[in-house]
């Protein structure tokens, strides 16, 4: 596909105004507090996955509303006898599930503890499946997940998913093999959008690596791309013609641009400059606002001692569509994260 978005120079400077609700921070504070109050201790069950160089655990932790959420926790063999490990929490692409352990070996093979979160209600569109249900009903919606509960932020599907992501970090920090002060997040496409949300809502991360992220700058994406999943919103609004203002008000609570502004950890983004699924301008919109609202914690300080926004590096894949860097991108992430950790 030829380039269809802004020029590379304009993308690098793109900082659009994105609507942000006045109660954005209170909405998320209350949402997380309610689910944390219902959380139980996570359960780890060692499983034999036929792998000699890693140990695999089937995990169940409490997500949104206390709902059980699954995941794979994979560590280098013998990790229990070593010092706690730096840890990567990873989120999945749209429609996929956590799959099977042998599909998730890169981070553990590099010496990290790795947690891969199942995405509630998904796991039946591609890959090797998921196991986490989404027990919450919503009103009328278009097929897919993008419009489930979309008329109210309290019922919107991604309120549950983003809460799961933050509580996954909480859970992982309690594991004996994990260094709770050296946790990072990553994911591609939908997983990249969830990683942005986690970085904006969880404290104390050492890094975030959103890869060709989805769920950013909804109003532009919905009007720019002809591809799903954003087109699910278009189809919904083509039927519910008077609902646009309400829909975009709901989406503003979940927009990666607003969540990115609250991040305090450094980031490594990737963007594909011919991406018709997650248009480049929507990725740059989030990257260029990264940490803009940071007021302390992991935020660096400038020469005058004022808090500065955390670094947000970005890798551009000039001739790729939504696959971005694919397998070529992970070595860049590994090198970047090792540098953040002083390795």
**Which one of the listed residues 114, 217, 322, 329 is annotated catalytic?**
322
* Averaged pLDDT, 162-183: 98
The domain segmentation of the chain, as residue ranges, is 8-340
Q: Name the CATH topology of 8-340.
A: Rossmann fold (3.40.50)
pLDDT tens for 25-40 read 999 999 999 999 999 9
Tell me which residue of 240, 256, 209, 200 sits closest to 89, measured CA to CA. Answer: 209
List the strands of the sheet with 207-211, edge to edge.
43-47, 54-62, 68-76, 113-117, 85-91, 178-188, 207-211, 267-272, 312-317
pLDDT tens for 284-334 read 999 999 999 864 333 444 555 556 789 999 999 999 999 999 999 999 999
DSSP 8-class letter at 58: E
67 is catalytic: no
pLDDT tens for 238-268 read 999 999 999 999 999 999 999 999 999 999 9
Q: What pLDDT score was predicted for residue 144? A: 96
* Residue 32 exposure: Cα atoms within 13 Å on the Cβ side: 19
**Which one of the listed residues 189, 252, 270, 281 is annotated catalytic?**
189
Q: What pLDDT score was predicted for residue 138? A: 85
**Is the pLDDT reported for residue 130 higher than 80?**
yes
Q: What pLDDT score was predicted for residue 176? A: 95
Q: What is the pTM of this model?
A: 0.96
CA 146 – CA 216 distance, rounded (Å):
13
**Which one of the listed residues 67, 118, 255, 275 is annotated catalytic?**
275
* Averaged pLDDT, 147-159: 98
- Burial (CB < 10 A; 0-12, 13-18, 19+), residue 317, is buried
Q: What pLDDT score was predicted for residue 137? A: 87
322 is catalytic: yes
**Is the pLDDT reported for residue 171 higher than 70?**
yes
pLDDT tens for 200-212 read 999 999 999 999 9
pLDDT tens for 17-26 read 999 999 999 9
275 is catalytic: yes
- Name the pLDDT band for 343 (thresholds 50, 70, 90): low
Distances (CA, A) of 208 to 29, 143, 203: 21, 30, 12
CA 178 – CA 74 distance, rounded (Å):
11
Q: What pLDDT score was predicted for residue 297? A: 36
- Name the pLDDT band for 104 (thresholds 50, 70, 90): very high
């Amino acid at each position: 596909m030829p380039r269809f978005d802004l020029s590379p120079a304009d993308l690098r400077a793109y900082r659009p105004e994105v609507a942000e609700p006045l109660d954005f921070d209170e909405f998320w504070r209350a949402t997380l507090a309610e689910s944390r109050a219902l959380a139980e201790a996570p359960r780890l069950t060692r499983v034999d996955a036929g792998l000699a160089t890693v140990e695999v655990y089937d995990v169940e932790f409490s997500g949104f509303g206390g709902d059980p959420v699954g995941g794979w926790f994979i560590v280098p063999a013998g990790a229990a006898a070593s010092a706690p490990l730096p840890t990567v929490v990873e989120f999945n692409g749209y429609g996929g599930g956590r799959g099977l352990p042998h599909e998730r070996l890169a981070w553990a093979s590099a010496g990290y503890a790795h947690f891969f979160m199942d995405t509630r209600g998904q796991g039946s569109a591609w890959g090797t499946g998921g196991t986490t249900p989404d027990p919450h009903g919503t009103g009328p919606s278009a097929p897919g997940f993008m419009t489930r509960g979309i008329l109210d932020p309290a019922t919107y599907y991604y309120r549950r998913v983003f809460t799961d992501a933050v509580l996954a970090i909480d859970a992982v920090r309690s594991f004996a093999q994990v260094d709770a002060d050296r946790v990072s997040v990553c994911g591609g496409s939908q997983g990249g959008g969830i990683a942005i949300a986690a970085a904006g809502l969880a404290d104390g991360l050492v890094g975030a690596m959103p890869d060709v992220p989805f769920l950013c700058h909804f109003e532009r994406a919905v009007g720019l791309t002809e591809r799903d999943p954003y087109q699910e919103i278009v189809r919904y609004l083509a039927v519910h013609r008077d609902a646009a203002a309400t829909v975009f008000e709901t989406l503003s609570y979940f927009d990666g641009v607003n969540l990115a502004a609250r991040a305090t950890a450094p980031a490594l983004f990737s963007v594909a400059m011919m991406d018709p699924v997650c248009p480049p301008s929507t990725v740059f919109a989030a990257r260029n606002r990264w940490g803009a609202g940071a007021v302390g914690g992991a935020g660096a300080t400038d020469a005058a001692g004022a808090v500065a926004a955390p670094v947000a590096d970005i890798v551009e894949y000039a001739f790729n569509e939504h696959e971005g860097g694919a397998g070529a991108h992970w070595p860049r992430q590994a090198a970047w994260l090792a540098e953040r950790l002083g390795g």
